[in-house]
Structure 1
């Protein structure tokens, strides 16, 4: 079977953040949302965050029934999620305009929304943050009973900006490979040589992972290794390998007596 398993994701956790139109986006997927964002809390993982796309299409045909062109207009994107908590953030979405003591007829207001999913197996984080705003409304009935958690499904209609941009997308880079440098080294018995492990990600960024990698020597009677530092033990050779997040790279080490 062809394909790259590292490109597949199993989203094991998720959060939805709500902010005013003035809310500032995090700088990247590793940065936390600021204090101007509110968290809806527990979500129903089985329901997930489904997207619904609506668009008016009109097929144009030439004589003879030949399809020539399709016109498209009125695109609408709705993204849903189901909340399990009753907290100030969820109440502001379910009953906008209401207070702690009064429930009024809801009139949805524009808000910014950040959708975040996480893959605990790879550490990958994926975020979609509304570029302009969303309008959130209750989708379906709200049932309160003695056997099920109270759940409210909310549907967020996403409004694009003037350039038709719906979301700002933030993702953590995915590890593509690691490399050990130098690729070969020579060390005298009793001396120490330093190796470096560098990680390369799918966005072409790199990171020194020497201290985070796991180092092994194929012949510890000839050379030992710890945190990238190779110590010559006896004349001979060994292959030193660095492993980091499922990726490996090696260096050929020659140990001489002098």
Structure 2
């Protein structure tokens, strides 16, 4: 077994999970897959619904372990039988997916009309994905490999909080003998809020108030540019890629998306662009094509 590289006690906190978000997804498609970036295709997966406050995604394995003993009662080995793995959680939503799990064999769900709730004669089968996110932004998703059995046995309607339903999902092993595929996506490791840029105070950026002495700047793309993209950095904030033939309005929009406020850009498609309200301006044209890549800022 390889020893972990973090040895300082303070570093070990990175291995502690404080779960900040939890979601459950369901699909009736036996071939359903989760995207490698941890997202779910809405045409394949259904979000089961909001979990109730204080709820958890519980897990309990139904595993039998029997000691095999030799004469004299001496243990020689352990016989292990993995029957199933059970997940449980409490929902606070009443939606079509919850209805399908709770009332298999009933008439279709309607939010305005009449349904017939049949006595369940079977369980709802599907692929389930259990997603949790910790305080460091790490994402952990367990996806059942085999169609699981899901059912709701209890429902609570009271005047003390939202209506809730307790969901149970029985997970059986597939032919290779596995219960889940597990996807881990490492977060940034930062457990505090990132720096936030104000968007509702005119003339203020993430770095503070805009310098009242700020003057207009002119940005000119290289002569002969025929394609590609470039980026603009204003008061320390950098845009995503800007097309070489975007006009001033598009550049302003890119700055707004980057968190820049109080700055406007005018200019025809391809520039030159006049930038007003900024203190510091720079540009990167390394992805431009057709000529030089050095962008003039004056």
- Report the TM range for the smaller structure's normalisation: 0.5 to 0.7
Match of 1:46 among 54, 59, 62: 54
Match of 2:65 among 57, 73, 77: 57
Please name the residue that 1:77 is paired with. Answer: 85
Q: Kindly tell me the number of residue pairs found equivalent between the two proteins.
A: 181
Does 2:159 align with 1:159? no
How far does residue 45 in structure 1 lie from its aligned partner after superposition? 4.0
Gaps (5+ residues) in structure 2? 1-7, 110-114, 190-237, 240-280, 285-298
Does 2:159 align with 1:146? yes
Superposed, 1:102-141 pairs within 5 Å as 102-106=116-120, 107-119=122-134, 121-139=135-153, 141=154
The CA distance in 2 between the partners of 1:45 and 1:126, in whole Å, is: 20
Over 3 Å counting, the alpha-carbon distance change for 1:89 and 1:164 in structure 2 is same
The CA distance in 1 between the partners of 2:71 and 2:50, in whole Å, is: 56
How far does residue 23 in structure 1 lie from its aligned partner after superposition? 4.8
Question: Contact 1:15–1:117 (CA<8 Å) still a contact in 2?
Answer: yes
Gaps (5+ residues) in structure 1? 177-210, 213-225, 230-258
Secondary structure of the corresponding residue to residue 142 of structure 1: strand
The CA distance in 2 between the partners of 1:4 and 1:158, in whole Å, is: 32
Over 3 Å counting, the alpha-carbon distance change for 1:24 and 1:143 in structure 2 is closer
Does 2:22 align with 1:14? yes
Please name the residue that 1:97 is paired with. Answer: 105
Please name the residue that 1:245 is paired with. Answer: none
How far does residue 138 in structure 1 lie from its aligned partner after superposition? 1.9
Does 2:40 align with 1:32? yes
How far does residue 149 in structure 1 lie from its aligned partner after superposition? 1.5
Question: Contact 2:26–2:48 (CA<8 Å) still a contact in 1?
Answer: yes
Secondary structure of the corresponding residue to residue 14 of structure 2: helix
TM-score, length-normalised on structure 2?
Answer: 0.55
The CA distance in 2 between the partners of 1:33 and 1:23, in whole Å, is: 13
| The structure with more strand, counted as a fraction of residues | 1
